């Protein structure tokens, strides 16, 4: 009876081995997702908006996030202040959407605009921003 168990075990191991990949996957071929960076909406200290509907949000002394308007946000580049609100949460991460409400300074009535947080800028990217766009 022992030889039968041995043959069955070897057959099962051979079948499992046949299903295994012949080579190890190449880690460089897999697209590495950048880690999501997050901030709390009540930590936004300063902002700058550009005419092309890009919003730069300073969330700490070192951290600046880039966001883009999803649709038209009237007078975003003329507003004097903003209120930022996550969609039911107080933390917003790269890739997430949120609402920004421009306050004052524009010719049109204030209204909420939907934005998407695109990325967190590196210190080099912050330094490369034109002065008028750096929060």
Domain boundaries, the chain: 38-133
Q: Sign of the CA dihedral 49, 53, 58, 59?
A: positive
pLDDT computed for residue 32 by the predictor: 67
Q: Which tokens in the block code for residue 28?
A: 């460089």
How many Å is the Cα radius of gyration of the chain?
26
The answer to whether 133 and 56 have CB atoms below 8 angstroms apart is yes
pLDDT computed for residue 98 by the predictor: 94
Q: How far apart are CA 88 and CA 86, in angstroms?
A: 6
The mean pLDDT values, 10 residues at a time, for the chain of 135 residues are: 43 45 52 82 92 92 95 82 84 94 65 91 96 92
pLDDT computed for residue 26 by the predictor: 53
pLDDT computed for residue 49 by the predictor: 92
pLDDT computed for residue 20 by the predictor: 46
pLDDT computed for residue 5 by the predictor: 44
């Amino acid at each position: 009876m022992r030889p039968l168990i041995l043959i069955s075990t070897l057959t099962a191991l051979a079948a499992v081995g046949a299903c295994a990949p012949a080579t190890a996957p190449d880690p460089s071929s897999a697209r590495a997702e950048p880690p999501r960076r997050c901030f709390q909406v009540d930590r936004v200290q300063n902002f700058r908006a550009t005419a092309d509907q890009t919003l730069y949000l300073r969330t700490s002394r070192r951290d600046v996030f880039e966001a883009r308007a999803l649709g038209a946000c009237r007078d975003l580049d003329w507003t004097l202040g903003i209120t930022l609100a996550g969609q039911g949460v107080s933390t917003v991460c790269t890739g997430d959407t949120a609402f920004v409400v421009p306050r004052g300074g524009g010719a049109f009535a204030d209204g909420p605009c939907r934005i998407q947080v695109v990325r967190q800028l590196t210190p080099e990217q912050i330094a490369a921003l034109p002065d008028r766009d750096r929060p």
